[in-house]
Amino acid sequence: MDTMTILKEMQSTTDISHELNEIKDSTRQKNRCYLKQILSIILMLATGGVAFRGHDESDSSFNRGNFLNTVKLVRDCDPEFDEMCDSVPDNAKYTSAEIQNEMIETLAEFIRKAIVSDVGDSVWSVLVDECEDISHHEQMGVGIRYTDKKGVTKEVFIGVVRVPNTKAKTLLEKLVGFCEKFGLDMRNLRGQGYDGASNMSGHMGGLQALIKQQCPMAHYVHCFGHKLNLAVDGLVSGVPALFEFLEAIRHIRNLVTGSSKRQAILENALLDMEKMTIAEAEKYNRKSSGNNASKSLPEPCDTRWNGNHRLVDAMYDNFMLVYTALVTLIEDEGTSATQAAEMEGALSKVSTFTFFFCNVTMQPLFNKLDVLSKQFQRPRLDLEAAQSLAITTIDTLEEWRDEFDEIWKRTKKIVEEKNALLPDDDKVHIPSEDEKFVGRRGTRSRGKGRAGVPGADVPAAQSCTMKQHLKDSVYTPVYDKVIEELKRRFDTESMKEIFMGLDALSPRDSFSRFSMSRIVSFAEQYSLDFCMDDVDKRKELEKNLKHWHKWVISPRNPYREEIKELKTVLGILEFMVERDIVVEFQKVFMLYK
């Protein structure tokens, strides 16, 4: 064979290899595009919390589930993807239930790795709560809170851990294993946030105590939202009049929405009320927005107080709706004598001045606590600001405690407005200033004119006006109890040094609370971070703090106006990073962090 023939054969072989490589590259690229589309669909459904699979996913099914239906929709809209779906082999379609779960877990791991990378070597806190899933399996939801490299504080969910039981040792084992699996350094753990259950908060054998044995600087903070919920529970159980009032509106709500027929009557009554003219609405001080949802009676919740708050709010706005529905149900031929008697009793309860007074008393109180609850749920709220909000709310409620006369006048005004809409036989009796409360000493009264609502037992007063009775039996006990519960739940004595230190570091009022001794005591709670046992290191911290305080209050500070706008510890962190002063005030930055 001559040289030219050999060269031609070599060139031909090279061309074939090149073509094969091009085909492989093209196939690989198509497979990647196909997989990317599948992943995009999975990510979209998972992000929206949408169920993936259907009851019947066979080819003949009309509804094959959200995942396969979405794949079909994309195929219909994208001919190239449709062609790829037809060309991929059956063992590489990535549409089976097992592959879906595997991809979801893979995406979750990528997200966790990104979060852990964002945390870096920064300090962090863990947030844990327990709950059962729909299969009654105990599980533990885990979140973390940290400050990133830009000084932004983040609160993120990182996963759910299945646990065989809720013993503190079991939770510790699962939590530490979960965090270490994804690279979170337990040595940097500085805070714990749980509810107040004994297995979580116990000082000896609780999860927080066990973690503190391993991480001495991981201080435990009882969830503020949970503390507020416990405070309101204590209020309701501690004031019989309030408890009976809430039970009454729950019962009334169940009466008027207890069946599809009653629900229809309620909706028809609502439609009739919507026909009221704007002039009539203004005359009777009613909202006439035409929004049916705003006038619904929400379902109460046995474990969350804000479910009762929404019901109290709805009852405050929708008395005429409830009244009309009850009257219609009583007069309905399909209502039995027993049911009619029960509804007559409910109607007599809502048609009392005492019932209106309880509603007018609780509506602004629950609204105020609801605002506080929503503020506690903000992820960028720091501990000092949360405690400040609680104290401010307590101060406000102490002022409201002395506003009984205003509530009395407001109740009379509202009842007068409702009486203008009611027939003569159903008008609510409005007591005068000196009208006596009906009751005998040593007996218990039932019916109208008692502390809570008609039908419950309370000791009757002697020679007492109705006005004084409502003040002594309803208004004052409600405010005394809620203030007492809030003060007890939000007491800072157990973490006195930390709260006082945070208060001293607060930028509010131009750092007027700055106190070197309080801040140093705060730093001692994290002694390993600041080497407080080393005299030189302690002096270095104090020197850095003095320099910081002098700088932030200096009239010549170029950022003086910007500093005045800072209100929270979290704002300070972002400010220090943005203005590139972290290195100069390294110790101070660590304290705020």
**Claim to verify: residue 566 and residue 479 sit in the same structural domain:** no
Cβ 335 vs Cβ 326: under 8 Å? no
Could you give the 3-state DSSP secondary structure of residue 483?
A: helix
Range of the domain at 75: 18-95
**Claim to verify: residue 497 and residue 476 sit in the same structural domain:** no
Sort residue 183 into left (φ over 0), alpha (ψ -120 to 50) or beta: left
Quick check: pTM over 0.85?
Answer: no
| Structural domains counted in the chain | 4
**Claim to verify: residue 513 and residue 428 sit in the same structural domain:** no
Q: Calculate helix-pair angle for 168-181, 207-214, nearest 10 degrees.
A: 50
Instruction: List, in order, residues 6 or more apart from 533 with CB less than 8 Å away.
Output: 527
Cβ 449 vs Cβ 437: under 8 Å? yes
Cα dihedral 93, 99, 102, 104 in deg (nearest 10): 70
**Claim to verify: residue 240 and residue 218 sit in the same structural domain:** no
104 in any annotated domain? no
Domain termination site, one of 222, 249, 270:
222
Q: What angle do CA 196, 200, 206 make, to 5 degrees?
A: 125
Q: What is the pLDDT along the chain (593 residues), one digit of tens a residue?
A: 566 665 555 555 556 776 777 777 777 888 888 888 888 999 899 888 888 888 888 878 888 888 888 888 888 888 888 888 888 887 778 888 888 888 888 888 889 999 999 998 899 999 998 888 888 888 999 999 999 988 888 999 999 999 998 899 999 999 999 998 888 999 999 999 998 888 898 888 899 999 999 999 999 999 898 999 899 988 988 889 888 888 888 888 888 887 777 777 777 777 766 555 444 444 444 444 444 433 467 777 666 666 677 888 888 888 888 888 888 888 887 788 888 888 888 888 888 899 999 999 999 999 999 999 999 988 788 888 888 899 999 999 999 999 999 999 999 999 998 888 888 888 888 888 888 887 544 434 333 333 344 334 444 445 688 999 999 999 999 999 999 999 999 887 778 888 898 889 988 888 888 999 999 999 989 888 888 888 888 899 999 999 999 999 998 888 888 888 888 888 899 999 999 999 999 999 999 98
11 in any annotated domain? no
- Show the tokens assigned to 453: 């609502």
**Claim to verify: residue 520 and residue 483 sit in the same structural domain:** no
Domain termination site, one of 425, 457, 488:
488
**What pLDDT is attached to residue 475?**
93
**Claim to verify: residue 422 and residue 554 sit in the same structural domain:** no
Sort residue 89 into left (φ over 0), alpha (ψ -120 to 50) or beta: beta
Domain termination site, one of 488, 519, 543:
488
**What pLDDT is attached to residue 384?**
86
**Claim to verify: residue 257 and residue 218 sit in the same structural domain:** no
**Claim to verify: residue 208 and residue 235 sit in the same structural domain:** no
CA-nearest of 265, 249, 248 to 257 is 265
249 in any annotated domain? yes
Cα dihedral 316, 322, 323, 324 in deg (nearest 10): 130
**Claim to verify: residue 395 and residue 255 sit in the same structural domain:** yes
Cβ 574 vs Cβ 150: under 8 Å? yes
CA 344 to chain centre: 38
Instruction: List, in order, residues 6 or more apart from 239 with CB less than 8 Å away.
Output: 474, 477, 478, 481
How far is the C-alpha of 52 from the C-alpha of 254, rounded, in Å? 35
What is the 8-class DSSP label of residue 459?
A: B
CA-nearest of 368, 248, 359 to 312 is 359
**Claim to verify: residue 446 and residue 506 sit in the same structural domain:** no
CA 155 to chain centre: 13
Cα dihedral 107, 108, 114, 116 in deg (nearest 10): -160
**Claim to verify: residue 505 and residue 477 sit in the same structural domain:** no
**Three-class SS of 104-126:** HHHHHHHHHHHHHHHHCCCCEEE
CA distances from 521 to 100, 192, 501 (A): 53, 20, 7
